[in-house]
Structure 1
């Protein structure tokens, strides 16, 4: 389900003919024309903003959402009116848990034009709220609530219904071309992830690519598209190692996912490319041999590790063995957030000082706004261990229908 905030009618956007439903579920705020600051954002023309004078009426509440695991993405925009603060900053929470704070300058950085998180809906309702930090009125361009596999991004004992995964970084390496899963023709049960294209790292690496088919892709539970593994950044004779740094919040846990495939035609057997993967100087994976682990060339391999950041920089290093060059196809980094107890009154959903009746806030979307889809069969959670290699194929006959009808939107 996708909502175009501030829109009075349903909208279809090119080039993928994506359907956005008219604005609903808001507890307050006003609509306005939007200025979209980034090429990443959908080409929508309106937004909803929440003036400070409205008090706690600063949320979206969607009821009758089928229980499950969801990719939630919110795009931000600027009010197309010079009398408003050109760049508001505010905090975002989902179901009572703060997941993100906009930083000054966000409208000039493509990756900061949205926030994305993976959450569980357990009580058939979804709430997101926007809390001004005193610098302008929160303004929201769109909301996406896309159901994913129940076991998507399982990373170990910390994973579960009490955990939120916020996307901190996601990039496809080598091609230099940014894309969404839909652009790649990805399976909808993987969501519609945005992949920032990078052709090299600041101090190392060269791009490489192939048109060869890649096996072991689009496999449950994460359903990664094949295109993701057809390009890579690779070391060279002068600098065989690869290294990448990103800003993080200190004393937070991060789940890091590495996507690998041996797409270099000169590497044909085991032992020809071997390297270690280090997180902040500590070995996360030792003696990585893609051909051995994946079972051959042109096959996808996914590795996952969790690290606690002690400082504000996360350094990822691919350290080669003698005679090897490192390679990486894509990287994902998620902040692991422990969900707080849900307190609707604190979020301003039901506050007698601002509302005459809490029942006015029971807003549900129309039954046709969630298309019934077959969800992958929810098997018992698998203990992948540290070396996660996705090799289980999806079987259409092992499916269940996970859609439920909702009541009409109240006017």
Structure 2
């Protein structure tokens, strides 16, 4: 294993070609350009509001009748104004200084606002397919999870896409996928999913029962360069791909160290964790996140061998959070975990794909009012077998201040990455952790290559399927195959299966995952 310290470097595919694509299903984001862009509160917009920009009318995308896209018109060639849907209000926004978000209820027929105030629009921007309803809609607490769009290859072809007009930039993209026997065939489908031409997820039948019945969320961060975000689904054999919701939210162009790594990367979420707290984020709780990120409890990723103690800021104000370019929420730094025993190390077990490099973000705040001086709490960060840095939070930022640090890990040899906070003085502490697979864009999708398209998806996963057509990679503790990167026995909210309609895909119950 080789690690790279901050500042990070730009990733170049080895040998001048794209590396293997990931097969775990995870949670993720998108990308943007422009050094002077500042993300503000996300603009939730209805059909009458701004949905696309940064292109003259002659370059606007036109969608045929029946495609799910209403008639559009654009302003002329103003660089920051955009395309609008008629017929009522026109909202002119300088896109360099405004965030954009859109939540699509796939298969849904009407706009609505969720209980947490999120605006959802009826299904649109799809290339083909048909609508479906889950078999047991009463089990799904959120409206957008009850309907879906499926793409029968016989009528819709092997490739089908959502092509969402958006200003060029970086975006957080979250999908919800569910089967729940909507077609009464009792067989989950196999299909691949790409974003902007790069394969990001692979679904293989049979799915774990929990994923099939209750669904799964996945998210990533990626760039949209041409004015349209293309999320495409590739049928395998005659299976119809399915999707229940698509969410997109603008991300600051410099977020997650893009100035060093470049924008020709997709960051696929392998775990976005809050320590000492419970799941929170837009769509699940009434808590805000500027990029619409959802944070899940770290409980399933910590080593069970180490007794821990949860800490709280106790009403103290946290400084240094929710700031450009990453806008990490204040709530993340209001809780933390530490060890009971001063000699113990905090230990996390993170599932990874050894073919990929990873960007790990650590979130700290000294929220123990008993720590008042430099050197009182010091610990080493050990990733794999390498001691990569020493942290003294109070020395860096003082008390009740957010402190962020990140690291890139390369050339992994194990499907479980062990991260330890080893005490030097006092007990280690952490508020949160993020783990992102760094997936280079397919060379065919990078504009300078002059090529387009993904090619035949059946050739993209060389050696990744076995003779029974079940995707290889991550398996649960009983050895059952299913969706890559998911442990079927763990829910993101700690509830029993069947009591909630969804869970986040990937990295749940990481200690139960093993590599084939």
* C-alpha distance in 2 between matches for 1:221 and 1:193: 14
Are the aligned partners of 1:93 and 1:129 in contact in 2 as well (CA < 8 Å)? yes
2:305 corresponds in structure 1 to 203
2:147 corresponds in structure 1 to 46
Mind listing any 5+ residue stretches in structure 2 that lack a counterpart? 1-101, 446-450, 457-516
- 1:243 and 2:347 matched: yes
> CA 1:113 to 1:42, structure 2 compared with 1: closer, same or farther past 3 Å?
farther
Larger mean CA deviation between 124-133 and 249-258 belongs to 124-133
Cα offset, 1:193, TM superposition: 0.7
- 1:275 and 2:376 matched: no
From 374, 389, 394, the equivalent of 1:285 is 389
* C-alpha distance in 2 between matches for 1:82 and 1:331: 39
- 1:78 and 2:179 matched: yes
* C-alpha distance in 2 between matches for 1:30 and 1:290: 53
1:26 corresponds in structure 2 to 126
* C-alpha distance in 2 between matches for 1:293 and 1:71: 30
* Partner-residue secondary structure (3-state), 1:179: coil
Deviations 1:351-407 (A, max 9, x none): xxxxxxxxxxxxxxxxxxxxxxxxxxxxxxxxxxxxxxxxxxxxxxxxxxxxxxxxx
1:97 corresponds in structure 2 to 198
> CA 1:238 to 1:115, structure 2 compared with 1: closer, same or farther past 3 Å?
same
From 170, 174, 178, the equivalent of 2:272 is 170
* C-alpha distance in 2 between matches for 1:40 and 1:127: 28
* C-alpha distance in 1 between matches for 2:271 and 2:143: 19
TM-score (norm 2): 0.61
Cα offset, 1:347, TM superposition: 6.4
Cα offset, 1:251, TM superposition: 2.7
Are the aligned partners of 2:108 and 2:144 in contact in 1 as well (CA < 8 Å)? no
Are the aligned partners of 2:159 and 2:235 in contact in 1 as well (CA < 8 Å)? no
- 1:298 and 2:400 matched: yes
1:265 corresponds in structure 2 to 369
Structure that is richer in strand per residue? 1
* Partner-residue secondary structure (3-state), 2:255: coil
* C-alpha distance in 2 between matches for 1:134 and 1:313: 32
* C-alpha distance in 2 between matches for 1:105 and 1:240: 38
From 5, 8, 11, the equivalent of 2:112 is 11
> CA 1:82 to 1:3, structure 2 compared with 1: closer, same or farther past 3 Å?
closer
* Partner-residue secondary structure (3-state), 1:228: helix
* C-alpha distance in 1 between matches for 2:328 and 2:139: 25
Deviations 1:289-309 (A, max 9, x none): 000112x11110000000022
Cα offset, 1:52, TM superposition: 3.3
Are the aligned partners of 2:159 and 2:233 in contact in 1 as well (CA < 8 Å)? no
Q: Map of 1:276-355 to 2, 5 A cutoff?
A: 276-286=380-390, 288-294=391-397, 296-308=398-410, 309-321=412-424, 323-340=425-442, 341-342=444-445, 346=454
Deviations 1:219-275 (A, max 9, x none): 001111111111111012265311011211113100000000011122221101100
TM-score (norm 1): 0.76
* Partner-residue secondary structure (3-state), 1:293: helix
- Bigger relative CO (Cα 8 Å, ≥ 6 apart): 2
Mind listing any 5+ residue stretches in structure 1 that lack a counterpart? 349-411
Cα offset, 1:310, TM superposition: 2.2
Cα offset, 1:320, TM superposition: 0.9
Cα offset, 1:120, TM superposition: 1.2
Cα offset, 1:89, TM superposition: 3.7
Are the aligned partners of 2:149 and 2:242 in contact in 1 as well (CA < 8 Å)? yes
Cα offset, 1:344, TM superposition: 5.4
* Partner-residue secondary structure (3-state), 2:109: coil
Are the aligned partners of 2:377 and 2:426 in contact in 1 as well (CA < 8 Å)? yes
* C-alpha distance in 2 between matches for 1:97 and 1:179: 29
* C-alpha distance in 1 between matches for 2:110 and 2:159: 23
1:409 corresponds in structure 2 to none
- 1:186 and 2:288 matched: yes
Deviations 1:12-47 (A, max 9, x none): 211x12111111111121100035799897653210
> CA 1:222 to 1:336, structure 2 compared with 1: closer, same or farther past 3 Å?
same
* Partner-residue secondary structure (3-state), 2:257: coil
Are the aligned partners of 1:51 and 1:138 in contact in 2 as well (CA < 8 Å)? yes
Larger mean CA deviation between 199-208 and 260-269 belongs to 199-208
From 240, 258, 262, the equivalent of 1:160 is 262
> CA 1:39 to 1:31, structure 2 compared with 1: closer, same or farther past 3 Å?
closer
Q: Map of 1:99-114 to 2, 5 A cutoff?
A: 99-102=200-203, 105=207, 108=210, 113-114=216-217
Are the aligned partners of 1:59 and 1:130 in contact in 2 as well (CA < 8 Å)? yes
Are the aligned partners of 1:258 and 1:303 in contact in 2 as well (CA < 8 Å)? yes
* Partner-residue secondary structure (3-state), 1:166: strand
Larger mean CA deviation between 105-114 and 77-86 belongs to 105-114
